[in-house]
Amino acid sequence: MGIVPQLESAEVRFQIGSEKNQFLEVIESHISKSPANFEIFSFAVLKVHLERFACRIYRDTRTASHDGGVDLATNFGVVYQVKKLRILNEADANKLYSELKFNFDQQRLQDGNVIVVIDDISKNVRDYLVQMRVQSISKADVLSLAKNFDEPEDRQKVLRVIFEEFRREYSNRIQTTPKSQKTQLI
């Protein structure tokens, strides 16, 4: 979990968030550690970014739940599916699009209201998906958004959201884990 447990402290969040380079180092070094990290760190950055435009984004699922559907939803009709994978050719893009067609209604796809957040995507494949009305946000895009947080308060808020989402994630797992396994998690 790296630094995540320490983010419970407002003092730690203040210290990290006050220094832009330290904040970026934390985001860059932790976002790729696991699929859960990828989803939660991406969500936190997107949430704070979208709030600048009076848009809300919600994360109602658990990471790695294999529900295949919505991972993040907004108050303006767009849904996000987060996948820690690389899409570098059209075959991979077609496979992803087939999965999206299975998970989302055709109208949502036709309206361009499905965005995938993925680890990496080539420019050609990104353009190919746009032709199918699916937008993508790569890890590089998320990191670029994080670099644009010039206010320490925004960076601290990202760190708070990361901690809260991990706490929600793991407290949920602990509550649903059989008693014999709880001691292993703690």
What secondary structure letter does DSSP report for 61? S
- Are 47 and 55 in contact by the 8 Å Cβ rule? The answer is no
Q: How confident is the model at residue 103 (pLDDT cuts 50, 70, 90)?
A: confident
Pick the CATH number of 4-169 from 3.40.1350, 3.30.70, 3.40.50, 2.60.120: 3.40.1350
pLDDT at 171: 79
Please state, in angstroms and as integers, the Cα–Cα distance from residue 48 to each residue in 30, 71, 146, 148, 162, following that order.
18, 17, 9, 11, 11
For 20-43, what is each residue's pLDDT tens digit? 999 999 999 999 998 889 999 999
Kindly report the pTM of this predicted structure. 0.86
Those residues whose C-beta lies under 8 Å from the C-beta of residue 115, and which sit 6 or more positions away, are 78, 79, 80, 81, 134, 135, 136, 137
